[in-house]
Structure 1
Amino acid sequence: MSTQGPLEGIRVIDLATVVMGPYAAQILGDLGADVVKVESPTGDSTRRSVPRRGDGMGALALNVNRNKRSVMLDLKTEGGKNDLHRLLADADVLVTNMRPGALARLGFDYESLKDRYPSLVYTSAQGFRSDSDLADHAAYDEIVQAASGLTDLMRRATGKANYVPTILADKVCALTIVYSTLAAVVHLRATGEGQHIEVPMTDTMLAFNLVEHLGGHTFEPPVGPTGFYRSLSANHGAVQTKDGWACILPYSPANVHDFFDASGHGDLNDDPRFSTWQAVLDDMGELYGAIEAIAPERTTAEWESLCASYSIPMAAVLDMENASDSRYVQDGHLLDVAEHPTEGAYRAVGIPMRFSKTPLSIRRPAPGLGEHNDEVFAELNRVSVESTDRTKESLS
């Protein structure tokens, strides 16, 4: 099969469910890999997610399964297992987020496969490290947010231990799967050697959170508390303007001085809370509170113009309900209307990366369950026949 993108020629077996693994495999597909999604007879659970227009293709399934082909296999049967082995024999990468115990029972854990497929890049991801007591514990995004400290950060910032309102752990770990797998593919191309990559979600998110929030505990002994002062400051949020919402974020001494002057509140530059940069750093909440009080004096567009003229960071808050009306979104083709063969018109989330030499594209919409069984296995049969013919020629 001909693909387009820098990973053309790489075949990925997507033995994953829900969001994290499928999203990672989709990105590999966007980059040009030939991705074969292996599903059970009941299909990935995202097929039953809501909202949906028809059975078997929920909105979430449309958003994490493009640029793939779907093969339906029953891995509880010997025939299904044999077919997965046929796929792996012709693959470069396996991505899975099945729990270690389940993979071992099926005979598709890394230890069971490494000698049979020495050039396979085997990337597995699960909630907790496979060598920990929690290895086979169920872990969804909210569980990982809690276990990695993200929920505690929300409590410290807002007073309530809420979850971030996006499946951040799933998506950050999906990106970790992608770049880890790409590194292993580079090694594979250089040496012919596969390897096992494990991406434990809790470890990944804890490392992600600690970049800034380790804070004073970066040093031993600590020189201050954990937590990043800006993120955890009072009033740290978007502000209400005369006609909407905006993020207005003076980020340097010059920005603060210019913001007060340009907004007509130059007297605040002499206020002890803002007269020195150290005073601002000592309590960022005071600055954020002042911006919140001043913001309603102008419209969002007026703030955008004023801040741009002084290079003060500012952005209007995007209303997700009307995202497709945004000129920026439209110009970037980030939510173009496309036609799905079974679901009809839908908005296809655009590929954000841009490659000058190997441009990316949406080559396939999300497939139906088992849509490509015949196509994929016919290809494998041709490869097998061609390999046999080449062997006969070399012996003659």
Structure 2
Amino acid sequence: MSGGCLEGVRIVDLTSVVVGPLATQILADHGADVIKVEGPAGDIGRYLAGKGRNPGMSPKYLHLNRNKRAICLDLKRPAGHAALGKLIESADVLLWNVRPASMSRLGLDYDTVRRIKPDIIYCGMFGFGQQGRYRDMPAYDSIIQGVSGVADLNRRMTGAPAYVPYVLADRTAGLIAVQLIAMALYHKARTGEGQRIEVPMYENMVTQVMTEHMYQRSFVPPLGETGDPRVLDSDNRPIRTLDGYICISANTDGQAHALFDAIGMPELKSDPRFRSVAARFKHVREYFRIRGEAIARRSTTEWMEIFRVADVPAAPYNTLEMLFDDPHLRDAGLFQEREHPTEGTILEIQPANSMSAGMRKDWLPAPRLGQHTEEILVEIGYGDDAIERLIEEGAAHGCPAAEPS
């Protein structure tokens, strides 16, 4: 028994790479029985995300697929497709992240799946909403970052369009899918009714960008242009100190006035350009310039102590490498060593959030391709002879024996 608030919920996971595996990992961390269904080639994320100790076990795959079981079925073979149907009969949620047309070609559109399991929660994650002309276009994170305006935000700030160097759109859509699935499970618990959920990455990322930057175009007629100038200013970034960088965000009048005292410029509190939130917003470039020149005169350590005493919101600037030694993250135990049965010692990222009665109690290492095929087939009613036939004809694939690392 997994424990956790989603214990007893079975999720059939047809997703790959990041967007879907992130969603199902969060659900699995809270107790859901997530069954990862892969074809004979496996999730491309097994190979796309760096070298591992064994083929098909890349670092990113390990970080996105813990607490799941894996079955390998060839859905192009009738017997493999039929096995998936029996698995869906036992499920509460079916989650997928290909174009809807691909699901239809596989005979897995919503109406067909609903005939198999009438109360299924059927959640699709794909590039573009099905009401618009982009609906059949393929999409990956970089494509969505470009078309949704994310890359243009970098152009506005630095002069050249650029992608955020982590899969922002995939991860945003994955988190939204978790929210919607949780609401759908609550609705099902109250009413017994399943439903279809659509999570289009494009519309979701445009929503994220434009609630931040629609700005003066929010009004009809417009009161001005798009883009929050405070957020897009080129000096809105970590501030150079005498020996490194520091991150500061003094937004309220109390915080800004404390900052002015801390940097030895109390006269700015009465300067009409900086004495209020609205004034600092209007003169944000000058505000950032003065702040930056003052901060450059002391070390990061000195400023952290000064700002701690003054209660100015500030934190050290961390590189990726520095995160491993960050004292707060050490206290929180975010990175923990785990023993994977085939991959040896790995550094696992623990769930960042906690619930006093919601987290699963056991820990399942990220599975190898087809690791639980036979176990899951038994659970859905296949006998030994039927399983052997499925494997012999290539409709299902087990996991070859592996020596532990």
TM-score, length of structure 2 as denominator length: 0.90
Residue equivalent to 1:373: 373
- State the Cα deviation string for residues 233-270 of structure 1 (Å, max 9, x = none): 23110011222221112112222222122222334445
Q: Secondary structure at the match of 1:43?
A: coil
1:348-387 equivalences in 2 (<5 Å): 348-361=348-361, 363-381=363-381
Map of 1:175 onto structure 2: 175
Q: Tell me the SS of whatever aligns to 2:123.
A: strand
- Spell out the pairing of 1:298-309 with structure 2 (5 A cutoff): 298-309=298-309
In structure 1, C-alpha distance between the alignment counterparts of 2:201 and 2:166, rounded to whole Å: 15
Measure how far apart 1:277 and its partner are: 4.2
Please name the residue that 1:17 is paired with.
16
What is the aligned partner in structure 1 of residue 88 from structure 2?
Answer: 88
Q: Structure 1 residues 119-128 or 361-370, which shifts more? A: 361-370
CA distance in 2, matches of 1:277, 1:63: 42
Name the structure 2 match of 1:393: none
Following the alignment from structure 1 to structure 2, what is the Cα–Cα distance between the partners of residues 81 and 73? 8
Cα distance in 2 for residues equivalent to 1:360 and 1:223: 51
The one-letter amino acid paired with 1:101 is: A
Q: Match for residue 134 of structure 1?
A: 134
Residues of 1 paired with 2:181 and 2:25: CA distance? 13
Inter-partner Cα distance in structure 1 for 2:66 and 2:223: 48
Return the alpha-carbon distance in structure 1 between the equivalents of residues 279 and 353 of structure 2.
Answer: 40
Structure 2 residue 103 is matched with structure 1 residue 103 = yes
**SS of the counterpart of 1:346?**
strand
Structure 1 equivalent of residue 334 of structure 2: 334
CA separation of 1:164 and 1:362: change in aligned 2, threshold 3 A? farther
Q: Give me the whole-angstrom Cα distance separating, in 2, the residues matched to 1:278 and 1:76.
A: 62
Aligned residues: 382
CA distance in 2, matches of 1:359, 1:38: 23
- For residues 275 and 219 of structure 2, the distance between their equivalents in structure 1, rounded to whole angstroms, comes to 30
AA matched with 2:290: A
Provide the C-alpha distance between the structure 1 equivalents of 2:276 and 2:188, rounded to a whole number of angstroms. Answer: 54
Check the 8 A contact 1:35/1:67 in 2, yes or no: yes
SS in 2 for 1:184: helix
Residue 119 of structure 2 contacts residue 192 of structure 2 at CA under 8 Å; is this kept in 1? yes
Tell me how far apart the structure 2 counterparts of residues 238 and 215 of structure 1 sit (CA, whole Å): 24
Q: Quote how far apart the aligned CAs of 1:359 are.
A: 3.4
Moved more, 195-204 or 110-119: 110-119
C-alpha RMSD over aligned residues: 1.7
Compute the displacement of 1:217 (Å): 1.6
Contact preservation (8 Å) 1:127, 1:144? yes
* Residue 264 (1) aligns with residue 264 (2): yes
Question: Which runs of structure 2 are paired with 1:65-214 in the superposition (5 Å)?
Answer: 65-214=65-214
Matching residue of 2:32 = 33
Once residues 73 and 368 of structure 2 are traced to their aligned partners in structure 1, the CA distance between those partners, rounded to angstroms, is 14
Larger CA deviation: 217-226 vs 197-206: 217-226
Contact 2:24 2:34 in 1 (8 A): yes
Contact 1:97 1:126 in 2 (8 A): yes
Q: Which residue identity does 1:31 align to in structure 2?
A: H
Counterpart AA for 2:25: Q
SS at match of 2:170: helix
Instruction: Name the stretch that deviates more: 330-339 or 28-37.
Output: 330-339
Distance 2:46 2:277 in 1: 53
Determine the C-alpha separation between the residues in 2 that align with 1:202 and 1:127. Answer: 6
**CA positional deviation for 1:196:** 0.4
Counterpart in 2 of 1:387? none
* Distance (whole Å) between structure 2 residues aligned to residue 270 and residue 190 of structure 1: 58
3-state secondary structure, aligned to 2:196: strand
Counterpart residue type for residue 15 of structure 1:
L
| Counterparts of 1:343 and 1:174, CA distance in 2 | 26
Partner of 2:224: 224
Q: Take 2:149 and 2:46, find their aligned partners in 1: how far apart are those partners?
A: 31
Give how far 1:35 is off.
0.1
Q: Deviations over 1:8-64 (max 9, x none)?
A: 110001101111011111111011100000001011011113132221100110111
Amino acid at match of 1:338: R
Q: Structure 2: state its 5+ residue gaps.
A: 384-405
Q: In the alignment, is the contact (CA less than 8 A) between 2:34 and 2:67 conserved in 1?
A: yes
TM-score (normalizing by structure 1): 0.92
Task: Give the partner amino acid of 1:334.
Answer: L
Amino acid at match of 1:113: V
Q: Which amino acid aligns with 1:205?
A: M
In structure 1, list runs of 5 or more residues that go unmatched: 384-396
Q: In the TM superposition, what whole-angstrom CA distance separates every residue of 1:177-230 from its partner, at most 9, and x where no partner exists?
A: 100111111111111111100001000111111222111122212222222232
Query: Is the contact between residue 25 and residue 64 of structure 2 (CA under 8 Å) also seen in structure 1?
Result: yes
Deviation at 1:315, TM superposition (A): 1.0
Q: 1:62, 1:285 → 2: CA distance?
A: 44
After superposition, the Cα gap between the structure-2 partners of 1:225 and 1:35, relative to the gap in structure 1 and judged at 3 Å, is: same
Query: What whole-Å deviation, never above 9, does each CA across 1:109-153 have from its counterpart, x for those lacking one?
Result: 112212331110000010001233322211000111111111122
Per the TM alignment, residue 382 of structure 1 is displaced from its structure 2 partner at its CA by 8.3
- Equivalent position of 1:282 in the other structure: 282
User: What's the counterpart of residue 400 of structure 2?
Assistant: none
1:51 aligns with 2:51: yes
Query: Which gives a bigger RCO, structure 1 or 2 (Cα 8 Å, sep 6+)?
Result: 2
Secondary structure of the residue that 1:369 maps to in structure 2? coil
* Residue aligned with 2:164, SS: coil
- Per the alignment, in what secondary structure is the counterpart of residue 364 of structure 2? coil
Tell me the secondary structure at the aligned position of residue 41 of structure 2: coil
Instruction: Give SS of 1:337's match.
Output: strand
